[in-house]
Structure 1
Amino acid sequence: MADASEIVTRVIARRRSIKPSQFSDTPVSDEFVWKILESANWAPTHGMTEPWRFHVYAGESREQLGIRLSEIYNEITPPESRKPGKAEKLLTNARQSSHLIVIAMKRQESGKIPEIEEVEAVACAVQNLHLAATALGIGGYWSSGKAICSDQLRDWLGLGENDKVLGLFYVGYPAGDWPEGQRGPVTDKVTWND
């Protein structure tokens, strides 16, 4: 039997971004979504601020979120700058996903902890979430962009003025084989000092 370090290392190396267009029609159970959210909740956090906030959309609410994202994209993007099909893709991605998780940062009122550390804590929470999904055979994709990270979406969600939307995590089972990944050697990315 593999020891814990081998299991964790395998899950980390297996994690992939799997986009909604690659999802099957098989829904992910709410129970599994709660499991991955529980893993997210164990991320490191300076000052125990636990700034991560998640808004989960399942069932009919996915359509509502997709429609709102499409509307926001059209509201904030001048017509001459709009990418063909972008607004529609926001709605299609919502429809193709089993669940959508809006990733937000709740900014502490005192401001004692630097904002960048709060953002980093949320990123760690998302990594935990993604690793837990991978361990369960669930695909996921963290997406951002103007509409997703907009003040308009923040306000629609009822977040505070100093809070931020940091992205959207699409959840679904992959339709095909789990994708293979590649990384260059870690030695190319490390400066080691003795």
Structure 2
Amino acid sequence: MTIEEVHQLLQNRRSVYPDQYLDKVIPDQIIRNILENANWAPTHKLTEPWRFKVMKGATLKKFGTFMAEKYRSLNGLESFSVAKYEKLKMNPQKAGALIAICMQRDPRKRVPEWEEVASVAMAVQNMWVTSCAYGIGCYWSTPDLLEYFSEFEPLVEEERCIGLFYMGYANPPSGRVKRKPIEEKVKWL
């Protein structure tokens, strides 16, 4: 891969949402390849805190129903939104795959928790860039309901779900993402 290709891949990476996904299955081997690249993220003291729960097929419908019903159970008539309920229920079913992003805290707590979260985020960036290379659109979602994920899929001690990684084949988004110039964000010392 040339440096120009690396620039293109990174600069064209963007969020692609479930409504944009095509009805096309993502092969398990591609998901394995994406997760293998996640496994090569930087990790202080080699804690490797990333954990992933892959959902496909019928599990997507089951998870959507779980999320929607959990939302219903937590919201009274005055705060309940039918639109939000339907979105929580249907978005997982639009995905070719959905991966719960979890963090397993180092039991010896050798590094600060924020470093473990940062390592997981770097693993997700590896997943995102690899997905882009495969022509798969992605979106990292962080709904409030994540705190209840262990009711859907049990987690081990010191493990928590910190996001949902939606994936699906999509037509390439048009236009380029806008960014402020890097010079506005850097001070050379």
**TM-score calculated relative to the size of structure 1:** 0.91
SS in 1 for 2:78: helix
Following the alignment from structure 1 to structure 2, what is the Cα–Cα distance between the partners of residues 13 and 44? 21
**For structure 2, which runs of at least 5 residues remain unmatched after alignment?**
none
Partner residue, 2:72? 74
Aligned residues: 188
Following the alignment from structure 1 to structure 2, what is the Cα–Cα distance between the partners of residues 25 and 165? 27
Following the alignment from structure 1 to structure 2, what is the Cα–Cα distance between the partners of residues 131 and 35? 12
**For structure 1, which runs of at least 5 residues remain unmatched after alignment?**
none
Q: 1:118 to 1:20 in 2, by over 3 A?
A: same
Q: Is the 8 A contact 1:72 1:153 kept in 2?
A: no
Letter of the aligned partner of 1:117 in structure 2?
E
Q: Percent of pairs identical after alignment?
A: 39
Letter of the aligned partner of 1:36 in structure 2?
I
- What is the CA distance between 1:78 and its match in structure 2? 4.2
1:169 aligns with 2:133: no
Equivalent in 56, 61, 64 of residue 63 of structure 1 = 61
Q: Is the 8 A contact 1:103 1:168 kept in 2?
A: yes
**Bigger mean CA deviation after superposition, 51-60 or 27-36:** 27-36
1:1-33, Cα deviation, whole Å (9 max, x unpaired)? x62x22222111010100000011122211111
Instruction: Name segments (4+ residues, structure 1) moved above 6 Å.
Output: none
Following the alignment from structure 1 to structure 2, what is the Cα–Cα distance between the partners of residues 30 and 191? 44
1:123-158, Cα deviation, whole Å (9 max, x unpaired)? 0000100000001111011001111x21x2134321
**TM-score calculated relative to the size of structure 2:** 0.93
Partner residue, 1:182? 178
